[in-house]
Structure 1
Amino acid sequence: MTLHGEQEGDEIDWELHEKNRKAWHRWAAGAVSDEQRSEFAGLADITRLELSSIPSRADETHERYTQEMKRRNADTFQVPRMPRPTASIEMQNVNFDRLLCLSNFVIPKEMILSGSKFREQLHVGGAVFVGAFFAENVAFEKGSIFFQSRFLRDAWWAKSSFIGAARFISIGFQGAARFDNTRFWRANGSLHDVANFSKTSFEKIASFRGTYFESATMFEDCNFLGSANFNGRATRLNGADEPAAFAGKTSFKGAHFHTRSDFARRRFGVQDGEAETITFADVIFEGPVSFEDAKFAHVFPGLDNTTFPHSTKVTAKLSHWPKLRPSLLSRIRNLYTRKSKTTSEQKPTEIREAASRLRHVMARQMMPEEEHFFFRYEMGAAAREGGFCERILNLPTYIYGAISEYGHSIARPAILLVVMWGFWAWVYVTCAKFTVTTAMAFSFATIFRFLGFQRTYLDEETKRLEDIPWMELIAASQTVVGFVLLFFLGLGLRTRFRLR
């Protein structure tokens, strides 16, 4: 691969690279049949002649190999036999201290890089990997660039680590592509590093099970013809359990999933990190998709024009979605600990649109509990849209949420009814001079005035209030407020029994 010399510095010497590539193909031609020669040459954008087996060129390559082995090693070094092109290309546990460029290379047999370390960048453009590719537990310390290359068999990057930008752009994976438990790290905290898989085609399984993305992530315009596994099952790293996550900005915009896709237990954003955008806009899910137990720490995903299948799993729990407002206990705790607020800073309009989209998906699957969960988020975001004037107009919606959690809570209106019953009873005792027992009975009858208890049992007490006009107003207001609370209580009961 570097028969004519290694690359020096950060810039690629393309003249040197061309010499290395042609020398490689003179050697590799022995493993390529006549039928394959034209196909591989076309894929790698090289001439058919370059990949042809010519005895004189093969002898020249062998002679160069012997000279370079002697030059790069001690005088006593015994030059090993030149590897056969039909054998596997084994480079396990090798330290690559300089930039390695494999652009437009045809790799005729399986390539094994497992356990190796790339201290400088690996640059692969327009290459063809005919056999399986193994890069398990490999450290890419300066990132890597793969673009417009083809992997005709399975490719493995399991348990590897990429530090800095990792680009897999316009790649064709004709076999399985496995990045299980791989780590994509930012270089020195850089926000510009991206794990970019845009416009890549996965013809068989694409497995990113347990993969952690600290850097921003892009899967835009990808084509998943086989199943896609982004399952976030917790994995053990350095002796500690670590959830698999998209910790940075994440985009699947325009991706197409032709069969099953799995995002179960995946973390989108990290709890203590900064809020990053997540988009599945224009994504097409043709097969079943699972976001079961997936957590969105700070923001709802963008779901504009997203096509969901009839089988879509989403976990409807408050712990898995951003908080619109903290509980009273959380507010008190934050004041005491002087922590900043932990609620989502995403625009209410974006939350409402995403929640509305998910609500429709759940309704189509006849999952009322999940549907109402996202309905509550939708209404909560709607109450916070706009400026001051718009929020004043949205006050009824806000009150609806505060009193009954948008028709879901039974406890809130029931507790408010009990509080109102006791408070108005105290008012009747102090202002109308009722006895405690009579005041409690009268307060109860006033709340349930439509049942006629006042006319039947408390007619005398009702007439006594006629002498105190403002007390009649108090009693009337209790009836109105009580009716509203009873309505919300009934709505909560109806919702609860309809759901369960």
Structure 2
Amino acid sequence: MAQNFSALSRENIARKMNVEPSEMEPLNQDELERIEQRLDGTNFSKSDIPSKEDMHMFSTIDFSNTSFEKPLLLSKRLFPASLSVADSVLFDNFSVAESIFLSAHFRRTSFKRHAYFRKTEFGTIGSIRNACEFIDCDFYQHADFSEGALLNADFSKTRFHTSAHFENTIFALGCPKFFEAELPENTLFPLKDGNWGLPFTRFDRRGDLEDFTDADITREAVKYTVLRKRMDAIQRPVESGFFLRKELSLRSNLKGWDALLIKLYGFVSSYGYSIQRPVIALLLTILLGVGVFGGYFAQGDPANVRSENPYQSGIGISISATFSFLGLGRLFYIETLQNLPSPIAFIYGIQTFSGFVFSFLLGLGVRNRLRLK
């Protein structure tokens, strides 16, 4: 009786919420395990947990409109609270290295000396989305964020006057915002895909990620566009190329023919960075031609080939077709090419076009790998 009443109650609740009754059913064991796995994937492992003496149990920490003339050192501490620093000036060194924050919000803050955020985690505990904000700040000396974890970081309008290091930093929930920011020439960013997380924001009832909308993808791609332009401005072609590949990888998930072309470009050449893929594509193009032309010559008049072995001629004419834009077509009798039937001639033309495209992508990959400009 209780079971029927519970089911009836769920149906009434579902009807009032305008959802399917199945959405109100209790999660089964498999669904619960999948949710736990998803949640485990969003947390960062903690090798060293601070002691109770180093934990600060405040609801908020507000250092706004404050001037610090002496060093402010808060390293290796746990702050399960929000830190707010607005319109403040730190005249000496500032360090929260290896600390863990629920969230930190710096606005219009001036760091006159060194600022150390090495191995600092912002937002890896709790569920605050905008957990790391440095908006309209000034870092006059070295700013070190290396090996940290920054959740949905925002550095908009912030000026790094000397150096900014983000080596091996994990940017959780997507690319950080650097809108209208100023970066020096010795800025360092991690160049591994694993350091740049996707902005997963919605889960279904089974713990699976919901698909991104085109608007979500475009917003994320624009962040990489901004970083790419910043790297171009300070003449850092390696970092610029990395951010371009990240941008194109996101845009390939949009809808439309242009996204399909971008995806094909990424598959064939890793967005102009791979050398191996264009080489493999050229070899496959040549092998395809060998099979087609060799088979044709094996059935045709031996007088139309340059050797008694038709497949040797197939290799030669396939290479000639693939690299005909280099003038290699003159290596074979013109009569042989003129007498090819239409289907074989069509394949010859496809090989010529493919050979040109793959050769171009190969040259582009060599150029980008050798960091040429």
- TM-score, with normalisation over the residues of structure 2? 0.70
Equivalent AA in structure 1 for residue 224 of structure 2: A
The reply on whether 1:410 has 2:285 as its aligned counterpart is: no
The reply on whether 1:398 has 2:263 as its aligned counterpart is: yes
Contact 2:108–2:137, Cα closer than 8 Å, also in 1: yes
Closer, same or farther in 2 for the Cα pair 1:432/1:205, shift >3 Å?
A: same
Equivalent AA in structure 2 for residue 222 of structure 1: T
DSSP 3-state at the match of 2:104: strand
State the match for 1:180 in structure 2.
75
Deviation string 1:52-91 (CA, Å, 9 cap, x unpaired) is: xxxxxxxxxxxxxxxxxxxxxxxxxxxxxxxxxxxxxxxx
- Measured after TM superposition, the shift of residue 392 of structure 1 is 1.7
Runs of 5+ unmatched residues, structure 1:
1-136, 140-158, 186-192, 233-242, 270-276, 325-337
State the match for 1:347 in structure 2.
216
Tell me, in whole angstroms, the C-alpha distance in 2 between the residues paired with 1:339 and 1:479: 50
- Measured after TM superposition, the shift of residue 411 of structure 1 is 0.9
State the match for 2:112 in structure 1.
225
* The structure with more radius of gyration: 1
Deviation string 1:220-258 (CA, Å, 9 cap, x unpaired) is: 3323222211011xxxxxxxxxx7454252211222223
- Measured after TM superposition, the shift of residue 138 of structure 1 is 7.8
- TM-score, with normalisation over the residues of structure 1? 0.54
Contact 2:104–2:122, Cα closer than 8 Å, also in 1: no
DSSP 3-state at the match of 1:442: helix
Closer, same or farther in 2 for the Cα pair 1:343/1:175, shift >3 Å?
A: farther
Structure with more of its chain in helix, by fraction: 2
Deviation string 1:86-141 (CA, Å, 9 cap, x unpaired) is: xxxxxxxxxxxxxxxxxxxxxxxxxxxxxxxxxxxxxxxxxxxxxxxxxxx884xx
Please point out which of 232, 245, 261 is paired with 2:143: 261
- Measured after TM superposition, the shift of residue 397 of structure 1 is 3.2
Deviation string 1:287-311 (CA, Å, 9 cap, x unpaired) is: 3221122222431001112122343
> Identity of aligned pairs, percent?
24
The reply on whether 1:455 has 2:361 as its aligned counterpart is: no
Tell me, in whole angstroms, the C-alpha distance in 2 between the residues paired with 1:308 and 1:354: 15
Closer, same or farther in 2 for the Cα pair 1:265/1:310, shift >3 Å?
A: same
Please point out which of 87, 91, 106 is paired with 1:203: 91
Deviation string 1:131-170 (CA, Å, 9 cap, x unpaired) is: xxxxxx884xxxxxxxxxxxxxxxxxxx721346332241
Equivalent AA in structure 1 for residue 263 of structure 2: Y
State the match for 2:231 in structure 1.
362
Closer, same or farther in 2 for the Cα pair 1:458/1:343, shift >3 Å?
A: farther
Tell me, in whole angstroms, the C-alpha distance in 2 between the residues paired with 1:164 and 1:343: 37
Within a 5 Å distance, the mapping from 1:90-489 to structure 2 comes to 139=52, 160-163=54-57, 165-170=59-64, 171-185=66-80, 194-213=82-101, 215-232=102-119, 244=121, 246-247=123-124, 249-269=131-151, 277-322=152-197, 347-385=216-254, 388=255, 391-430=256-295, 433=298, 435-459=310-334, 461-465=336-340, 468-489=341-362
Q: Which gives a bigger RCO, structure 1 or 2 (Cα 8 Å, sep 6+)?
A: 2
DSSP 3-state at the match of 2:370: helix
Tell me, in whole angstroms, the C-alpha distance in 2 between the residues paired with 1:427 and 1:322: 46
Deviation string 1:405-430 (CA, Å, 9 cap, x unpaired) is: 22211111111111121123223344
Tell me, in whole angstroms, the C-alpha distance in 2 between the residues paired with 1:437 and 1:246: 65
Q: CA RMSD in A?
A: 3.2
Equivalent AA in structure 2 for residue 446 of structure 1: A
DSSP 3-state at the match of 2:56: strand
- Measured after TM superposition, the shift of residue 315 of structure 1 is 2.6
- Measured after TM superposition, the shift of residue 374 of structure 1 is 1.6
DSSP 3-state at the match of 2:165: strand
- Measured after TM superposition, the shift of residue 177 of structure 1 is 0.9
- Measured after TM superposition, the shift of residue 178 of structure 1 is 1.0
Contact 2:97–2:116, Cα closer than 8 Å, also in 1: yes
Contact 1:322–1:343, Cα closer than 8 Å, also in 2: no
Tell me, in whole angstroms, the C-alpha distance in 2 between the residues paired with 1:353 and 1:307: 17
DSSP 3-state at the match of 2:107: coil
Equivalent AA in structure 2 for residue 223 of structure 1: S
Tell me, in whole angstroms, the C-alpha distance in 2 between the residues paired with 1:343 and 1:294: 26
Tell me, in whole angstroms, the C-alpha distance in 2 between the residues paired with 1:483 and 1:425: 18
- Measured after TM superposition, the shift of residue 403 of structure 1 is 1.7
Tell me, in whole angstroms, the C-alpha distance in 1 between the residues paired with 2:197 and 2:104: 20
Equivalent AA in structure 2 for residue 367 of structure 1: R
State the match for 2:27 in structure 1.
none
Tell me, in whole angstroms, the C-alpha distance in 1 between the residues paired with 2:210 and 2:287: 36
Equivalent AA in structure 2 for residue 293 of structure 1: N
Tell me, in whole angstroms, the C-alpha distance in 1 between the residues paired with 2:369 and 2:211: 27
Equivalent AA in structure 2 for residue 347 of structure 1: D
DSSP 3-state at the match of 1:252: strand
Contact 1:369–1:499, Cα closer than 8 Å, also in 2: no
Contact 1:168–1:200, Cα closer than 8 Å, also in 2: no
Closer, same or farther in 2 for the Cα pair 1:439/1:199, shift >3 Å?
A: same
